[in-house]
Copies of this chain bind each other. A is one copy, B any other.
Amino acid sequence: MKYEEEVISSKEVYRGKIIRVEEEQVKLPNGEKAKREIVRHHGAVAIICVTAENKMIFVKQWREPMQRVTLEIPAGKIEVNETDPKRTAIRELNEEVRLHPESLELIADFYTSPGFADERMLMYFAHNLQPVSEELPQDADEFLNTVELTLEEAKEKIKSGLICDSKTIMAVWKWELLELRRS
């Protein structure tokens, strides 16, 4: 079976600072035409941080698209000038939780909304976290606090809805998987 769509034409219909939107005309495998709406995003990283006391670190912040406070694992956009996503992860960890990892292990590489966006996210596990020697300035429009939770507490926060995004639920499930495999 042929799956591939062929781009006939592409038009940028919105250009913001974080996202661009394109409308594509495509030729379907059967020769018919269809329209696709695609959000272009430069990509992001997210980091699983487990402390020496076996607690996971979350960032408490306001999320304007959902009009609510959430608990999420540290994460952030890859800036246009950043070519190594591990550098992005180290920067975000410094800005958001003031910690520096000895090493970062790639846990997952995925698209967040494959139906309408090309945002790709790299998820790392941070090993041997230490306080940073030099604090980077925080983003002027970010107001956040960090929260540390045990696995059971984190699972409770998923149930109560304070943890409510895919990457953070993934992080908690991966943490539980690692714990179960160990036992």
Contacts and interface: CB of A to CB of B under 8 A. Distances in A.
A27 B84 CA distance: 33
Contacts of A18: 37, 115-116
A32 interface: yes
A26 interface: yes
A113 B40 CA distance: 13
Contacts of A35: 17
Given A115-B77, A116-B41, A180-B181, A110 B169 contact: yes
Interface of A: 1-5, 7, 13-14, 16-19, 21, 23-24, 26, 28-30, 32, 34-39, 41, 44, 60-66, 69-70, 72, 75, 77, 108-121, 140-141, 143-145, 158, 161, 164-167, 169-170, 173-174, 176-177, 180-181
